[in-house]
A = this chain, B = another copy of it.
Amino acid sequence: MSHLYRITLKTEEKGLFDITKEVQQKVTESGVKEGICLVFCPHTTASITINENADDDVRRDVNLALNTVFPRLEGFRHDEGNSDCHVKCSVLGASETLIVTEGKLLLGKWQDVYFAEFDPPRTRTVYIKVLEG
């Protein structure tokens, strides 16, 4: 029995959007108690990442740093003009894999799961796959 789910979100601006509750909800729905959970982003100007959940300034600072370190370069040729977003996508990666135990995501005290939007506004999809074992 396969446990594959899909959630959607609307992003109005660049930044990290917390999807931990939605992911946990699908894990609960799956009924899987022990296993792993793959959170996968099917877009090429967005990523999935894990970072601090306590101080909103952390998410803000991560966003600031990514925009500072990976700017639009003069040498870019891609005619949509958003190659900097594609770069960030490869740097943060398309997915995160989480541990599930006792039916819960095994996250650190300060960790949440975020959808990282680099090229808003968009309607985005996230796939969630739960594997038992």
| Of A7-15, A19-27, A53-61, the one with at least 4 CB within 8 A of chain B | A53-61
Task: A2-B101, A50-B89 given; name 9 further pairs at CB < 8 Å.
Answer: A2-B35, A42-B107, A43-B108, A43-B111, A44-B50, A50-B90, A57-B79, A60-B77, A61-B76
A residues whose Cβ falls under 8 Å from a Cβ of B:
2, 4, 34-36, 38, 40-44, 49-52, 55, 57-58, 60-62, 64-66, 68-70, 73, 75-80, 83-84, 86-87, 89-99, 101, 106-111, 116, 125, 127, 129, 131-133
Residue of B nearest to A46 (CB): B108
Copies in the complex: 3
Do A111 and B44 contact each other (CB < 8 Å), given the known contacts A92-B91, A133-B132? yes
